[in-house]
Structure 1
Amino acid sequence: MPFDVVVMGQGYVGLPLAREAANSGLKVAGYDPSAGTVELLNSGVSHIDDVSDQDIAGMIAAGYQATSDETVLADARTIVICVPTPLGDAGAPDLGAVVSATESIARHLTSDTLVVLESTTYPGTTEDVLLPILASSGLEFDADYFLAFSPERIDPGNKIYGLKNTPKVVGGLTPSSTARARTFYERFVDIVIATKGAKEAETAKLLENTYRHVNIALVNEMSKFCHELGIDLWDVIRAAKTKPFGFQAFYPGPGVGGHCIPIDPNYLSFEVRKTLNYPFRFVELAEEINNSMPGYVARRVQSLLNMEKKSLNGSQILLLGVTYKADIADQRESPASEIADLLESQGAQVDYHDPYVANWLAPNTEKKCITDLERAAAEADAVVLLQSHSEYEVDHLAGLSKIFLDTRGTVAEDRGSRL
């Protein structure tokens, strides 16, 4: 059965893309190597926050089909790669999933096909990695097939901006590839912006997240010395953001999470070191500061306990919110895991509560969510708010707690301590 689009990878990026394409009238196949994911989707069940079961039902009614059979690629007019690009050993980009997906495409590539990479990567990947693999198909680039990069801009849990109303950046290896990609995305995205080429599109994504990475690091470092100086940084930010120009508010926290901020800037830093042989100092310093925040949170907990003549060793600590972002279930790169490990390494007993996470399975953590939140808050030696889910009545919980540390700046001053 021929499909207009095959989206490779049906996760936080690929599934919303498949939904919007299907809603626009395109016939869509969602390719994913996970048989479990394919089975869930074909039975009408979503596995991510931003796509509901009802959405999946509508996609299926429009002709959507999930599959682990790569032969579906042979009949696609457009193929979009939305696979993970984590960091590998020594912080180097791991393009294994991208290479594997591209090799699958090359085995089944047919004439007049557009291939688009959406997975975040370093500048030059589309040309230096994908193009040689696709050339092995024997087809002629820019005549038989076209190749472009379009960075994903998915913000999980965002109720205002989704794929359709977030401007889409596209850059092809040639003007004809750019034009093909632009025409494709204009079917279901309101605004499509073309760059000079694929490298510019690749770098635009990295600049967006490096900007956030550096500014988050700035306020995280300020949170440390403002605490020592007795300055309320949260009030400082509230005042500063009243300026109608030249300032954008960023906020401190227990560390950065998700796929983008902890990972993407390192792709740019890696490429600068590899190609130009000098460091991207802003990125590397920001990474150092942001990576220090879980340790800083653990030290603040220890300090608050010491003020009550208690030791961290043997204390009962309750963590509230272990996802990387409020009001979603996504735990990717959440700093909560490292904070729990640090506290437990010093002898603390750590429990957690999160309305979105029934079982917390992190690299060194395996716990079940506590059921009686108010009782647990009252009995714990210290309660630490790591994620401000809207379900939490923060001031009420702080009032029940012996010690309450809020890393998100939401608790009233007279109820608890802020980061």
Structure 2
Amino acid sequence: MTQSKLIDKLSNKTATIGIVGLGYVGLPLVLRYCEVGYRVIGFDVDQSKVSALLEGKSYIEHIGSDKIARFVGSSLQPTSDLSRVKEVDALIFCVPTPLGRHREPDLSFVVGTIESVAPYLHPGMVLSLESTTYPGTTDEELKPRIEALGFVVGKDIFLVFSPEREDPGNPMFSTQTIPKVCGGCTKECLQAGIALYDKVVDTIVPVSSTRAAELTKLLENIHRAVNIGLVNEMKVVADRMNIDLHEVIRAAATKPFGFVPYYPGPGIGGHCIPIDPFYLTWKAREFGVHTRFIELAGEVNSSMPDYVVSKIVDGLNSRKKAVSGSRILILGLAYKKNVDDSRESPSVVIMERLRDLGAQISYADPHIPAFPVMRAHRFSLSSVALTEESISSFDCVVLATDHDRFDYDLIRTNARLLVDCRGRFAEGAPNIVRA
């Protein structure tokens, strides 16, 4: 199939779309393609996700099961059978790109996926990588593997990079309304990529290459990481000076130009901000560049859980209580408010630090009823119900993630010691410590 025929099929919605990876990025994209009338095959190696979708059930809190049930059996076909890639006209990769033990890029999911689908690729397809990665991944890792099969990229198969920009739980923006950056290996690839996304997003932002698109996503997240690092460092300074940084931020935010408010916390979490800067620092070394500014921000943000633990220890000591043997309740396991995503959450790091010091750890999170399975962290815990009796039974309560569903009056009134990492409580009460 020629490029023009592929674009025609994408434009008139007769193309079949394949999406690999049905998590926080892939599943919203699947539903968006279904909404506008495409036939979609959703691929995931996790059979539990496939089974849930086949039953019309969602496993992501902010995505209702009714949305799944609406399309399953008609336009949506979930499967773990990668041989069905031969049925699709477009294939979008939404797989993880974590860091290794030494903060080096781990492309095993990307490489493993392209190698697994390789036998089923065929001429007239457009392939899009959405996973955040370092500049050069698309044309250094994917393109050679496709060409090794005898295909010509830009003629037989069209390859693009279009970074995901999902913000789970944000009601202000959706897959449709968030502008879509897209870069192709060739101009023909870019044209196919634009056609791929044209019917599902309101605005497409074409760039000159896949590398430009890859660096765009890194810049977006590094911008956030650096500014969060700055405000986290300011938090420590303000605390030593006995100044309320949240008051300072509110005042600074009244300036109508030149200032964007960022807020301190116990660290950074999620699938992007803690990880993406290190993809660039790693790749920059290949060009003899040491990204000192980015790495410093990463060090500051990585140190925040230890800072929080030190404030907990100080607070307990002031009450003549050792951290060893203390019962400590962590409020909020998710990495940010109002979501059920605990990936890279600083709450988990704080829990581990306190456990290593001998504390008895519990957590409460209305979005995460049981501690999830994680590759690097293990707790056999379930979320504690918050009552007057349960809260007052703990030696220390730590507000790590400020979910709207928490009853803050109940918490403030009944906590013996309340360590506030989010600036949710006014200072001055004898049981409140800012962290």
Normalised by the shorter chain, which TM-score bucket? Answer: over 0.9
Q: Which deviates more from structure 2 when the two are superposed, residues 326-335 or residues 409-418?
A: 409-418
Residue equivalent to 1:207: 219
SS of the counterpart of 2:380?
A: strand
The one-letter amino acid paired with 1:100 is G
2:420 aligned partner: 406
| Alignment correspondent of 1:320 | 331
- The alpha carbon displacement at 1:136 in A equals 2.2
**For 1:54, which of 66, 75, 90 is the aligned residue?**
66
Secondary structure of the residue that 2:289 maps to in structure 1? coil
1:338 corresponds to = 349
User: Does the CA-based 8 Å contact 1:146-1:176 persist in structure 2?
Assistant: yes
Partner of 2:263, secondary structure, is coil
Per-residue CA deviations over 1:341-400 (Å, capped at 9, x if unaligned) read 111222221211111222214514221222343322112111110111111122331121
Which one of 108, 129, 142 corresponds to residue 117 of structure 1?
129
Alignment of 1:84 with 2:96, yes or no, is yes
Does 1:282 pair with 2:293?
yes
Structure 1 contact 214–286 (Cα < 8 Å) conserved: yes
Change (3 A) 1:62 1:189: farther
Describe how 1:18-417 pairs up with structure 2 within 5 A: 18-60=30-72, 62-273=74-285, 275-361=286-372, 363-415=377-429, 416-417=432-433
Higher alpha-carbon deviation: 256-265 or 339-348: 339-348
2:381 aligns to what SS in structure 1? strand
Contact 2:134–2:283, Cα closer than 8 Å, also in 1: yes
Tell me which amino acid in the other structure corresponds to 2:298. Answer: E
Q: Is the 8 A contact 2:388 2:410 kept in 1?
A: no
Length-normalised TM-score, structure 2 = 0.93
Aligned length in residues: 417
What's the secondary structure of 2:181's corresponding residue? strand
Task: Say which SS state the counterpart of residue 142 (structure 1) adopts.
Answer: coil
When normalised by structure 1's length, the TM-score is 0.97
Q: 5+ residue gaps in structure 2?
A: 1-13
Tell me, what secondary structure is at the counterpart of 2:41? Answer: strand
- Paired amino acid for 2:21: G
Give the whole-Å Cα distance in 1 for the aligned partners of 2:117 and 2:384.
Answer: 46
The 3-state SS of whatever aligns with 1:91 is coil
What is the alpha-carbon distance in structure 1 between the residues aligned to residue 328 and residue 80 of structure 2?
A: 43
Measure, in 1, the Cα distance between the counterparts of 2:395 and 2:47: 44
Distance 1:346 1:111 in 2: 59
CA distance in 2, matches of 1:157, 1:382: 29
Structure 1 counterpart of 2:428, one-letter code: D
CA distance in 2, matches of 1:134, 1:51: 34
CA distance in 2, matches of 1:184, 1:372: 47
Contact 2:161 2:182 (8 Å CA) reproduced: yes
The offset of 1:95, in angstroms, is 0.7
Q: 1:261-281 CA distances to partner (integer Å, 9 max, x unpaired)?
A: 1101110111001x1133211
SS at match of 1:28: strand
1 CA distance for matches of 2:113 and 2:279?
A: 20
- Which residue is equivalent to 2:24? 12
Question: Displacement of 1:3 after TM fit?
Answer: 5.9
How far has the Cα of 1:133 moved from its partner? 0.6
Specify the alignment match of 2:11 in structure 1. Answer: none
Give the Cα–Cα distance (whole angstroms) in 2 for the partners of residues 251 and 92 of structure 1.
28
Residue 413 of structure 1 and its aligned partner are, at CA, apart by: 2.2
Give the fraction of aligned pairs with identical amino acids, expressed as a percent: 41
Amino acid at match of 1:411: F
Contact 2:155 2:188 in 1 (8 A): no
1:179-205, CA deviations, whole angstroms, 9 ceiling, x for partnerless residues?
Answer: 111111011100010001110000000
Aligned-residue offset at 1:175: 1.0
Q: Cα deviation per residue 1:11-58 (whole Å; 9 max; x = unaligned)?
A: 111111111011111110001111221111111111113321111112
**How far has the Cα of 1:405 moved from its partner?**
1.1
CA distance in 1 between partners of 2:101 and 2:398 (Å)? 32
One-letter identity of the residue aligned with 1:47 = Y
The separation in 1 between residues aligned to 2:384 and 2:72, in whole angstroms, is 37
Which secondary structure state, in structure 2, belongs to the residue aligned with residue 207 of structure 1?
helix
Deviation at 1:113, TM superposition (A): 0.5
Question: Which residue type is aligned with residue 371 of structure 1?
Answer: A
Does residue 418 (structure 1) correspond to residue 434 (structure 2)? The answer is yes
In structure 2, the residue corresponding to 1:360 is in which secondary structure? Answer: coil
Tell me how far apart the structure 2 counterparts of residues 389 and 182 of structure 1 sit (CA, whole Å): 38
The gaps in structure 1 that reach 5 residues or longer are none
Regions of 4+ moved over 6 Å: none
Question: 1:106–1:136: 8 Å Cα contact kept in structure 2?
Answer: no
